[in-house]
Structure formats: C-alpha cells, structure tokens
Chain A
Amino acid sequence: MTESTPQNQNLSRRDFLKVAWMFLGGVAALETAGVFISYLQPRLAEGEFGSIIIPGKVDDFPLNSVTHIPNGRFYIVRTDDGGFLAVYHRCTHLGCSVPWDQTAQKFICPCHNSQFNRQGVVENPPAPRPLDLFALTIENGELKVDTGNLIQRQTYETAQVVYP
C-alpha cells in the first residue's frame, strides 16, 4: 500500500505547484489578451454605416438600373426582371471606392483598373473576387439593407438576387 505509482514519485509537491502556477499564469495571460481584444472590437452606432439603412422603396428604382447610396456605401442594382442586389462599393482588391461607369456599363476601379459587371462579377483583375454584397430584405415595398452583414462571394448566383 505504501508503494506509489511511478508518476506520483516523479511529481513532487514542489513540481506540482510549479506546473499549477504556470498553468494559472497562462490562463491569466489568455484572459488579459481576451479582455484587450474584446475591448478593441469595432464599435457601431445606430443609423450610421454598419447598421440597417433604408435606401428607398421598390418603385424608386427603375428596371435595369444602378443607383449609388453614398451614406450606405453601396449600390442598389435592379435587374431587368425586377430583382435587387445591394453591392458594396468597396473594391475587393485594395479597398478603393468603385464608381459605376454608365457609358461602359461597368464598375471600374480607379486604383488598379479592376472592372466588374453589373452584378459585381470581376471582368478584369487584379480584383480576386466579385464585389461584396450586403444582406437585403424587402418589407412592405421598402428596401432594407443591413450594412453590418457583409456577404462575400466567389461567383454570381441567381439566388443572391432578392425579389419583391
């Protein structure tokens, strides 16, 4: 009965306390890091970019149109069959604002000449993926765009279009 297992022999009280202190110290360090990282998380305010923005009613946007909503940083793209896309105006390459070129019928980035079609799909690199979308819903004929809900995509799919 007095025989202890080899593990018990190896782990003296001093060693156990040493390990325990190191473990607790590690936990404390992780907690501190967690506090700082949470503290530094982005802060959002109601009604500003990052919250839900109402760009207008369904009928405000003619078929086959692209309308810039500056305070929401997005375009409302209306397809020829009446669907809607909320396209973030930020280039997926290095973050420049992409203007809509009406004559070329394309989004053309001034910074590195990335080009996107009406649905935001890359027609000319260096942009690595289509323009991002914001979650869009339609309630009582009114568009609602959640600018805190960014949707990144690799391709264009018809499922991305929202119909009234």
Chain B
Amino acid sequence: MEEKTSLPEASIFERMRNRLTPEGVPSDDRGRMRMVMDSLILHIHPAKVEVTSLKWTYTWGLGGLAALLMMILGLTGMVLLNNYTPAAPQAYLDILKLNSNVWFGEFIRNLHHWSANLLIVVAVLHLIRVFVTGSYRPPRELNWLIGVAMLLLVLAANFTGYLLPWDQLAYWAITVGTSIVSYVPLIGQWIGRLVLGGTEVGANTLLNFYSMHISFIPLAIFGLMSYHFWRVRKDGGLTVPKSSKQTEDPSTISGQAPKPERVTTIPHLVHRELISAIGWTAVLLLFAMLVPAPLEGIADPALSPNPAKAPWYFMGLQELLLHFHPLVGAIILPSLAIIGIFMLPFFDLNPKSVGVYFRSQRGRSLTLLAIGIALIVTPVWVLLDEYVLNWTIWLPTWDTLISNGLIPLAVVLLPLVFLVDWIHKSFKADTEERVLFIASFLFTAFIVLTVIGIFFRGPGMSLYLPWNMPILTH
C-alpha cells in the first residue's frame, strides 16, 4: 500500500492563488485584503509623504477630485453607450427613451452631465492652485505641460459630448463653437469642413464627434493621466514650502538639515483620499438625483434660437467675439493665452517661494489688487464698447481687422502694460510677482466676461440684467 504524504493536497484554486503571490499570502482575511490594496496604492503613491503636503487647505484635494470625476465619467459613459445611437434624429429619440424607459437612465445621464461640467471647474481650480503656489517650477515643468494638455482634452471631451443629445441647445452651441475654427487663417475653412464632415453641423458631425468622444479623447486623457501621476512621484511628490524643509539654522548649511516630518502613505494619505472621494461621490449622486441635465427640443438646422450661445465654458470666448474682429477675438487672443499658460514655468523660475500661496505677502496684496482692478475695469469696458465705442463707424474706410480688431486690442492691452510697469516701479515687484499680477488680472477679466456672457446676454446678444431677461418663444 502506498503511503500518502503528510502535506494535504492543494486544490487547483489554491495552487493558482499561490502562483499569483509567490511571497506568500497572509493567513487572515484582513491581512490578505490589505496586501492587495497596499500593493496597488503603493504603485501610485510613494511609501511616505510629507506632513505639510497633506494639509487639506494646501491642495484642496483638487487633483484627486479630478481623478474621481474621470472614473465616474468613464463608468457612466460606458453604460450610456448601451442606450445611444449616433445618428440624427435617432440620437435625440434615444435620449428621450433613456429618460423615460430606462431604469436609472436619466440618473446616469445626469451624473455624467454634471460630473463633466464639474470636471472643467475642478481642473481649472487645480491649475490655479498649482499656479499660485508656484508648483510648476523646475523640475515640474513637464507635468505642468501635461496638465494643461489634459485640460484642453477635457474641454474637447466636453465639447464633443455637448452635441450628442442632438437637441437645439447642442446643435447651435456646436454650430457657433465650430464656426470659430473657420477664422484660422489659410487652413481654418478646411479644418472646419473636416471636423464637421460637411459645410454645417449634420449627421456626419454627430458621428465624428461621437467617435472622438468615446475613443481618441478618453484614451489620450487616460494615457496622460497615468503619466501625470507617475511624474508627481518622479518629481519628488507634492511641493512643500521651503521653510518647512529648511530653517535658517546654520546646521542646514553643514548638511545636517532637520528632516522634514514624513508619515506613511497608508493610512495617512489614503484615508484622506478615501474620505474625500466618498464625500464628493455622495454630493454628486445627490445632485444628479435632484437636478436634471438640460434637454431642449430636437435639433432644427433651419431655426436658430435667439440668443444662440456656445457651451458655458466658451462664453468668455464668445463675449470676446462680440468686441473684437473674429481673427483677434477667436484666434489671436486665445492662442496667446494658451501659449502663455504653457510657457509659464519657463519664465517664472525662482525656486524660493515654491509651495507658498501667492509667493509672498506683497504677492498676495498685488493679486488682490489685480483682481480688484479687473473686476471694475472689465464690466466698464464691456459697457463702453457696447454703447459708446464704435471704431467701424468712426473709421469707415479702414479694414475691419484694424478698426474692429487691432485698435480695440491696443486699447485693452496698453493700460495693462502701464499697470505692470507701475507695480514694477512703485512696489518693486519682481518677475514672479509681476507674472502673478498679469495672470490674476487676465484670468479675472476672463471670468467676468464669462459671467456676462452667461447671465447678462439676452436676445440678439444685447445686454440685459439677469432678472429682467426677456424670454422669447419661437
């Protein structure tokens, strides 16, 4: 008779599991769960993080929230595909069916819609946080570039998604938005035709946008996002103020710097992320239950609504178009802004104030000054340009590119140049503070223009007070 080995025969599943974890598996459930989670988390995060970078009021958890929103958008987007046909007019009918015939259909759409809109706000706030704390300075320039590229992709994702319901709102917002492209010199018309798949928004446009929205853009964002996270680790984690790393103590010079206080990522960082994610998810679910995503009547190419507005995040741009020749308002100014944002880490280098909100006490005052001036000057200029200034009539023989483009541009930009010169001379503002001043001024002005475009523009794009807005019926 053959003698059996004392080892109990392992089942096939046990052997499979043992092969997957050669180092061995903890014997208790809790330990096993921990092991899986920890190895995943420590793949993304470093093992230890600095205490100061954990401070809630330093990062506001904005990058993490953006990542959470991307996850929600991916999940809800995937299931929305099951109830959507990218064809006109079936797309619109599908949305109606989604709202009325599909379990949780409207809820999933609302969640997708509001998460996408929130993502724009959160991504911009994240960019502002990194900017005002100077966290894009060497060695983090590359991650800044990736972040800005992702912001542009998020805008593209939102814009392409905007058309998909195929209602009046979508149709005309995309018509106005894509018409802007045709003002690019030389190749604009051609690009416009390529994007639209014709001379105007139609069935081909819907299919083009759908394909971009579900394949290229999410793939690109996912790739850049992974790289973005990895670079955060590679660049030495989040920025922290210099003062917490070094003191004026002479021992720092002799190389015996007091080590910054560090704690383990698990649980200190991970618990914070988890709490934040759960809290925000609850807020989003509640919001999606209570506030329906907008849906108007089916797209009608023959009937422009009055007013026809671009998506809200492009209303600042559309407002510029009311004041400038399209080449200046839609192409030159936005291109300069994007190039400027990309270039920031290459002329704002001073590593001294990294991690300090607004650089310095003087920087803080100058930022407030810039915001204050922009808050007053921008509405005044909009009113002046709307009711008083009329360069095309004053200079009838001039090309409208000059009379309605370059002259107003000079009128707007020259005072800013003098303003910057003034803070340079009177407050001895250094480069980083002047960059902060200009950026705060321009960004505030853009926000004011966006607010005017969304809330103060009525029929015929005339100015109205929001509580006096006439409602037109067709």
Point out residues on A near B: beta carbons under 8 Å.
Answer: 37, 40-44, 49-50, 68, 70, 73, 89-90, 93-99, 109-113, 125-126, 128, 150
Contact = CB atoms under 8 A, between A and B. Distances in A.
Nearest to A43: B204
21 contacts: A37-B194, A42-B193, A42-B194, A42-B198, A42-B199, A43-B204, A70-B302, A73-B200, A94-B180, A94-B321, A95-B175, A95-B176, A109-B304, A110-B459, A110-B460, A111-B304, A112-B460, A113-B461, A113-B462, A125-B404, A126-B404
B306 interface: yes
Given A97-B302, A110-B306, A111-B308, 12 more contacts: A40-B194, A40-B197, A40-B208, A70-B302, A73-B301, A73-B302, A94-B308, A95-B179, A95-B200, A110-B459, A111-B176, A126-B322
A110 B179 contact: no
Interface string B378-406: 00000000000000100000001000100
B253 interface: no
A42 B200 contact: no
A147 to B, nearest CB: 8
Given A125-B404, A128-B325, A96 B175 contact: yes
Nearest to B178: A95
B224 to A, nearest CB: 21
B326 interface: yes
Given A40-B194, A42-B198, A95-B175, A112 B326 contact: no
A123 to B, nearest CB: 12
Contacts of B204: 42-43
A97 B302 CA distance: 6
Give the interface centre of A37, A109, A112 by most chain B CB atoms within 10 Å: A112
Contacts of A109: 304
B321 A111 contact: no
Contacts of B178: 95
A72 to B, nearest CB: 11
Contact of B301 (A42, A97, A126): A97
B194 A41 contact: yes
Interface residues of B, number: 35
A114 to B, nearest CB: 10
A22 B301 CA distance: 48
Given A110-B459, A125-B404, A93 B194 contact: no
A50 B197 CA distance: 11
Interface string B193-226: 1101111101010001000000000000000000
A111 B303 CA distance: 11
A48 to B, nearest CB: 9
Nearest to A37: B194
A94 B404 CA distance: 16
A111 B307 contact: yes
B172 interface: yes
B305 interface: yes
A147 B325 CA distance: 28
Contact of A50 (B199, B208, B392, B460): B199
A125 B199 CA distance: 22
Contacts of A40: 194, 197, 208
Rank and list the top 8 A-B pairs by shortest CB-CB distance, nearest first.
Answer: A110-B306, A95-B179, A96-B304, A94-B179, A111-B308, A95-B175, A113-B460, A97-B304
A90 B404 CA distance: 22
A15 B404 CA distance: 55
Nearest to B174: A95
Contacts of A41: 194
Contacts of A98: 304
Contacts of A68: 302
Contact of B179 (A93, A97, A99, A150): A93
B307 A125 contact: no
A125 to B, nearest CB: 6
A68 B199 CA distance: 18
Contacts of A113: 460-462
